[in-house]
Structure 1
Amino acid sequence: MLIPPGFNTVTPYFFVEGADRFIEFLVHGLGGIEIGRHMNGDRIANAQVRLGTSTVMVSEASNGFPAMPASYYLYVENADESMQRAIAAGGTKIMDVANMPYQDRQGGIKDQFGNLWWL
């Protein structure tokens, strides 16, 4: 299988209820760029959002593919600023930004869709 430009060997694929609102959170809260959207009627069948050097996919949840939150580690330039932007876009802080013993500076948020993000 050909890996498209901007995608990685492992690519997160989000199934969420309210895919349009989730994409807004990825763009405004996490600094993503929407690069594609394919519709099936009024339902988002597949959208692609670039977050830094990675691309994620998003679809509206359905009976066959129900919503399922997960946890993600997102590398950012400035964890403090990224945390504030994510909170302003509707995220809830679950861990203050702090220096970690493994040389990262990170904090955690939970988005409105149940996903955990370590910034």
Structure 2
Amino acid sequence: MNKIFDTYRPEGFGTVSGYLFVENPNELIDFLKKAFYAEEINRSMNSQNGDIANVILKIGSSCFMISQARGQFLHMRTAFYLYVDDVDEIHKRAAEFGAKVEFEPADMDYQDRQSGIIDPSGNYWWISKRLVAKGYHE
């Protein structure tokens, strides 16, 4: 690994970590807590308008951030690949708590069991379990 990446990172953060700007952060945070067992690590508010300035959430071993979208950050969407042990259970929870189902759980040719959902903020989530104990390029 290049030494430039050999630096302190808070627990749960990788070299690259997601940062979502959404129009209704409380709705998304509530969805992620219910559907994916997200844990809220920290919350800071904008003292001028009371908006969420930054929330750190942790799903499994990964942390990422959410903020209130304004101006040029409105309507940004992203996608996540979420590794879980039980795709069907997490897919069902996501749908129960308001996700739009993109595709139902299925075993894929690339040896993942996977489903796809869209969260209340319009982000795509591929919920996946590796069916073999090897990487994608092995």
TM-score (norm 1): 0.94
The residue that corresponds to 2:25 in the other structure is 19
Give the superposed CA RMSD: 1.1
After TM superposition, give the deviation of residue 67 of structure 1 in Å: 3.4
- Please tell me whether Structure 1 or Structure 2 has the larger radius of gyration of its CA atoms: 2
2:14 matched to 1:8?
Answer: yes
2:120 matched to 1:112?
Answer: yes
- In the alignment, residue 15 of structure 1 is paired with which amino acid? F
The residue that corresponds to 1:35 in the other structure is 41
The answer for unaligned runs of 5 or more in structure 2 is: 1-6, 128-138
1:53-107: CA deviation from partner (whole Å, max 9, x where unpaired): 1001000001143231111110111000000100111001111101111111110
**2:73 partner SS:** coil
State the distance in 1 between where 2:11 and 2:125 align.
24
Contact 2:79 2:124 in 1 (8 A): yes
The residue that corresponds to 1:92 in the other structure is 100
- In the alignment, residue 51 of structure 1 is paired with which amino acid? I
1:1-50: CA deviation from partner (whole Å, max 9, x where unpaired): 53111111110100000111111111111221111101113111000110
State the distance in 1 between where 2:124 and 2:114 align.
13
Contact 2:27 2:120 in 1 (8 A): no
State the distance in 2 between where 1:68 and 1:77 align.
29
The residue that corresponds to 2:77 in the other structure is 69
**1:87 partner SS:** helix
**1:83 partner SS:** helix
Would you identify which runs of 4 or more consecutive aligned residues in structure 1 move more than 6 Å? none
Aligned residue-pair number: 119
